[in-house]
Amino acid sequence: DAGVIQSPRHEVTEMGQEVTLRCKPISGHDYLFWYRQTMMRGLELLIYFNNNVPIDDSGMPEDRFSAKMPNASFSTLKIQPSEPRDSAVYFCASRSGLDQETQYFGPGTRLLVL
């Protein structure tokens, strides 16, 4: 398996623009997670899905952030409008629901909002 795939790997945009980050989880995994990494707060969970349904979005910072999972093999995280403080590395992770399983992370998308 190719692992969790994220695109783009790097994104530079201007304040006010819409940003869409994409994730393809590992095939067969029924949980998908979106994280944001910053120096100050480390790895923060933004939202997670189970069987394509959002379960907990309490970590989504503002209404400017939205996430969707239209099917088992694709998810998006959208920021509209983007702000400089959104600059961070965004990770997607997936796992199966089996006991003792862990989360597998993608390589991340480094976002810079100017």
Q: Which two structure tokens, joined as six digits, stand for 83?
A: 């702000």
Considering beta carbons, is residue 41 or 71 the nearer one to another protein? Answer: 41
Considering beta carbons, is residue 44 or 64 the nearer one to another protein? Answer: 44
What's the closest the beta carbon of residue 44 comes to another protein, in angstroms?
A: 7
Q: Strands, DSSP E only, in 1-114?
A: 5-7, 10-13, 19-24, 31-38, 42-50, 53-56, 65-71, 74-79, 88-95, 104-105, 109-113
- The answer to whether 28 contacts another protein (rule: CB under 8 A) is no
- The answer to whether 42 contacts another protein (rule: CB under 8 A) is yes
Q: Which two structure tokens, joined as six digits, stand for 19?
A: 């940003």
Question: Which positions lie near another protein, rule CB under 8 A?
Answer: 4, 31, 35, 39-45, 48, 50, 55-56, 91, 93, 95, 97, 102-108
